[in-house]
Structure 1
Amino acid sequence: MKRYALQNVYIVTHPEATHHVENLVGGWHDSSLTPRGMASSRRVATALSERIPAGRSPLLFCSDLLRTRQTAEPIAESLSVDMLIDADLREQSYGAAEATPAGSTPFVPPPALGDRMRHRDGIDGSESRLELAGRAYAALERILMCGAQDVVVVTHGGTATYLIAAWIGLPLEEAGYVKFKVSPGSITHLREDDFFHDRQVMSLNDVGHLE
């Protein structure tokens, strides 16, 4: 991956959504934020406005699903920026299992050994990890090409793992075991220093602003 002028990436996971409280499979199911989730999104916006210095011109990217757009709206207002939609920032597709009660659809977990990235879980229409990760890696590449000093990316828990993996340079084909635990409404701060150009994970799964 090429290096650009970008220094800070803030990965935001959407807060509590209706599929969480209804115990439904999310994925591409277009659930909305709950009232609690909406309140959390405002706290996220406040936290980001405190972290990004005044006078900067950050970019704001988000998934096209409703729950991430609702999360991004108060951020856009707080930072006085437009929302840039990128469907590649969507959560993993769970195909026919989406919007069904969690655990009600049998699936085949990935093997402990072997090609975990191309594994199929047996659910019609679901994505492999390779397909999800490929979308996330491509999205981050486009984001970095913008060359902004500060970027906010509003996405989903599963997608966040692969954005972080892409940031630290983990080869796509080697990402079969990676998993970063991120909570709804969290902020993960990634930074590239301007001397060594090292890719740093400054904070992971920060939820202090939600307390």
Structure 2
Amino acid sequence: MKRIYLVTHAEAQHHVDGVVGGWYDSELTGRGRLQAERIGEVLASRIRSQAVEVHSSDLRRARQTAERIARRFSVRVRADARLRERSNGEADGRPQAWLDERRIPLPEYGDRLGHHDGPAGAETRLALVERLYPALDDIIDRPVDNQIVVSHGSASSYLIAAWIGMPMVSSDRGFFPLKSGSITTLVRNDTHFSHQVVTLNETQHLQDLA
């Protein structure tokens, strides 16, 4: 059976500073580095000596999380820009209040995937899923049973949608709220070829680091 451990990157500086993330290339905080080490411990206890790959968004906060995990297994991180969070364009790195004042609300109906939030240069959700879905397909196609994928909160939600076979055109409705430093376990059952979500948004490993 293939197992994918989907990890949302640990606490980053933009979380603490209250600024917009997206493609803003913030680093992990001190607590975030501890969280990443703890995630590595948890995954090492589950995967043990089995072969494993570590894939990551190329943004620093994800890469720094992935590198601490990868050291547990003595493997390198395979960085992929397609695993990035959705870009907020000119809002990235600005105070969250700046974006909130300018954001065009997502409509309940209509072209939700193609909706533009307002800030110049921001990605639509359609652009996001059009890079995330193929990225996950490429990871799944690799002949390794255990894979760790480090991405971002919203991006990881769409990766789960891709994993369970949700069509891109329907991905505008589903959403899985994922916390920083969480682990979600995805399993392909080779008996009836189902794609399972075995655990979702695990965070208990971080409780004593709060």
The offset of 1:209, in angstroms, is 1.1
CA distance in 1, matches of 2:48, 2:190: 17
1:177 has 2:153 as partner: no
CA distance in 1, matches of 2:160, 2:73: 23
In terms of fraction of residues, the more helix-rich structure is 2
Alignment match, 2:70: 76
- Residue aligned with 1:103, SS: helix
Alignment match, 1:195: 191
The offset of 1:63, in angstroms, is 0.5
Letter in 1 for 2:17: E
CA displacement, residues 151-173 of structure 1 (integer Å, 9 cap, x when unaligned): 00000001101110000000001
Alignment match, 1:3: none
5 Å matches for 1:56-205? 56-105=50-99, 106-205=102-201
The offset of 1:103, in angstroms, is 1.9
Unaligned runs of 5+ in 2: none
The offset of 1:147, in angstroms, is 2.2
1:51 has 2:9 as partner: no
Alignment match, 1:208: 204
The offset of 1:125, in angstroms, is 0.2
Letter in 1 for 2:5: Y
Alignment match, 2:27: 32
- Residue aligned with 1:104, SS: helix
CA distance in 1, matches of 2:126, 2:46: 33
CA distance in 1, matches of 2:45, 2:79: 24
- Residue aligned with 2:108, SS: coil
- Residue aligned with 2:96, SS: coil
Misfit runs of 4+, over 3 Å: none
The offset of 1:134, in angstroms, is 1.4
The offset of 1:82, in angstroms, is 1.1
CA distance in 1, matches of 2:144, 2:136: 13
1:18 has 2:13 as partner: yes
CA distance in 2, matches of 1:190, 1:109: 32
CA distance in 2, matches of 1:95, 1:85: 22
State the TM-score, normalizing by the size of structure 1: 0.95
**Aligned residue-pair number:** 205
**Pairwise CA RMSD:** 0.9
CA displacement, residues 29-54 of structure 1 (integer Å, 9 cap, x when unaligned): 00000000000000000000011132
CA distance in 1, matches of 2:32, 2:130: 28
Percent identical among aligned pairs is 43
CA distance in 1, matches of 2:52, 2:167: 28
CA distance in 2, matches of 1:186, 1:102: 22
